[in-house]
Amino acid sequence: MMRKLAAVSLTALALAACNSSEDTPAVAMAGAEDCAAIDVSVLGVEGASTNWVEATEELPAFCEVSATLSPAEGSTIGVVYRLPEAWNGKLLGLGGGGWAGNITLQSASDGLSKGYATMQTDGGNAGTDVWNNSWVAERPESATDFSHRAIHEMTVAGKALANAHYGQAHQRAYFQGCSTGGRMALMEAQRYPTDYDAIIAGAPVYTLQVQTSAVFRNQTFAANGGAGGFTPEDLQLVQTSVLALCDAADGLADGIVNDPASCSWEPASLQCEGAKDASCLSSGQVTAMQAAYDGRRASDGSWMMHPMRRGGEAGWAFFVGTDGTGNDPTGGGGLANLFPLFFGENNRVKLGNFNDANYLGVRGSDFAEMYEAKNADLSEFFANGGRLMLWHGESDPGPSPVGSNEYAEAVMSGNPAAASQFRYFTLPGVGHCAGGPGADMVDYVAAMDDWVESGTAPERLIGSKLDGSITRPHCAWPNVARFEGEGDANDPDSWSCVPRT
């Protein structure tokens, strides 16, 4: 299961990095000879390796440079740079997923195919298991690297490498990431505001509230001996009932709720009058489902369990222990492995008894101060001309879109420049980074590149499914898409962006 989740996570990150179109003249490179002669000393480390990769039908030829950066004793930041034979003059940094970095060619392929020189890192930990994070508590320098230092060091060294290799300075530097990559993206804007000209942050796991939410959600469904547990069929029953009430509110019944926050469906409407059967929910299930929708506040007023959205219930079990056992495939988002860091080696805190006081201890820890990318003051990033695009799937069962909504609102209210340099998009029916019935394939890099080059911020993004079954516009916050009632539903011009109700 862990390996399957890791593969799906990395695949979602690759799918989220869609192709972009470039008009920038390419800078030619002499191929394998230049790759072998590349001056890796600009990376400031020994032992860097180079490898020339010939062109295929899918990808151009490129020079791959691998190295380990060590900005501090005990720090081992693995980096991979892929420098295309024909360079468009721009750099593309890429983020990781879960508790891992990402140096795969799959994630770099879209950027490479359009001429970007790509920059990737393992985040300071060579492992690829996205939920195995015990190393965070065991290796302080690796924890620092993963929290914020790895992406910055990767970027500084990558700029020097590309600029020296191609013999000219890069024109633009962009960063793109989803999930953990989204947190890395926000961290770059907050801690290192001059690293990138533009940043794309998808479904960011930007505070430890994502992990605590997972723990409390599992407890919610496991309460009273598992009385609130759901089978896959029960979850589908709920989703079908939600869609029956709220799907057509956007002008079209298409299996997608465009604005889940306005959906008034209540679990009590399915409560059994007698014995539980396939057509209804038990009282324990009703209580658990309502609690999941409501979320849960801690004693300090913050969300210790973010609310879940209506309309995507059938996909919740991917990240949440909805079966009533109290366990989920992610181990509470990996939080249990960090308990020694927060509570000491002899602590008695477990996922099942994790409580309000424990939540406050986690959020108030030194690790949280280093790891969380919650600062909404982006004045330095914006003053440097930076653009930030934030997006989140409305049916995400991992990090809640509620968290991204709150961060977006804080950025917009606290930074005057956000009116022209920040955009936030919610994607109806889309799961974590990808998946779900919604139009999850969006060319974010092309949209950002158009924004940077034209100076005009996008008011909507066009999404589709990989199989071409649907096409939908995604509107910039706070607007939402509404079907006009005429024309082809797969024609974006048949939709308008209107205020949320």
Whether 472 and 439 have beta carbons less than 8 Å apart is answered as yes
pLDDT band, very low/low/confident/very high, at 162 (cuts 50, 70, 90) = very high
Residue 300 within any structural domain of the chain: yes
* pLDDT value at 389 more than 70: yes
Residue 463 within any structural domain of the chain: no
Over the range 110-140, which residues count as b (16 or more CB within 10 Å of their CB) and which as e? bbbebbbbbbbbbbbbeebebbbbebbbebb
Share of the chain above pLDDT 90, in %: 90
Q: What is the pLDDT of residue 326?
A: 93
Rounded to an integer, what distance in angstroms lies between the CA atom of residue 207 and that of residue 183?
A: 8
Asked, as a colleague might, if the bond just before 428 is cis with ω within 30 of 0, I would say: no
278, amino acid identity = A
Antiparallel, parallel or unpaired: β 172-178 and 90-94: parallel
* pLDDT value at 12 more than 80: no
Can you tell me the mean pLDDT for 291-309?
Answer: 98
How many domains are there within the chain? Answer: 1
Residue 125 within any structural domain of the chain: no
Give the mean pLDDT of the chain. Answer: 93
Residue 259 within any structural domain of the chain: yes
CB-based contacts of 472, cutoff 8 Å, min separation 6: 256, 428, 438, 439, 462, 463, 464, 481, 490, 492, 495
Instruction: For the chain, report the end-to-end CA distance as a whole number of angstroms.
Output: 40
Residue 327 within any structural domain of the chain: yes
> H-type helices in 167-282, by residue range?
180-191, 209-226, 232-246
* pLDDT value at 2 more than 70: no
Residue 229 within any structural domain of the chain: yes
Q: What is the pLDDT of residue 7?
A: 40
Residue 201 within any structural domain of the chain: no
Q: List the beta bridge partners of residue 389.
A: 200, 423
Q: What is the pLDDT of residue 1?
A: 35
Phi, psi of 269 (to 5 degrees): -70, -15
- The structure tokens 């390796």 sit at 49
Q: What is the pLDDT of residue 33?
A: 87
pLDDT band, very low/low/confident/very high, at 4 (cuts 50, 70, 90) = very low
Q: What is the pLDDT of residue 31?
A: 82
Domain holding 264, by residue range, is 209-369
Rounded to an integer, what distance in angstroms lies between the CA atom of residue 220 and that of residue 232?
A: 17
Tokens encoding 482: 């509404």
CB-based contacts of 24, cutoff 8 Å, min separation 6: 88, 89, 90, 115, 171
* Packing angle of the helix pair 356-363, 209-226 (nearest 10 deg): 170
Whether 428 and 309 have beta carbons less than 8 Å apart is answered as no
Whether 112 and 59 have beta carbons less than 8 Å apart is answered as yes
Q: What is the pTM of this model?
A: 0.94
* Rg of the chain, C-alpha, whole Å: 23
Q: List the beta bridge partners of residue 498.
A: 480
Residue 485 within any structural domain of the chain: no
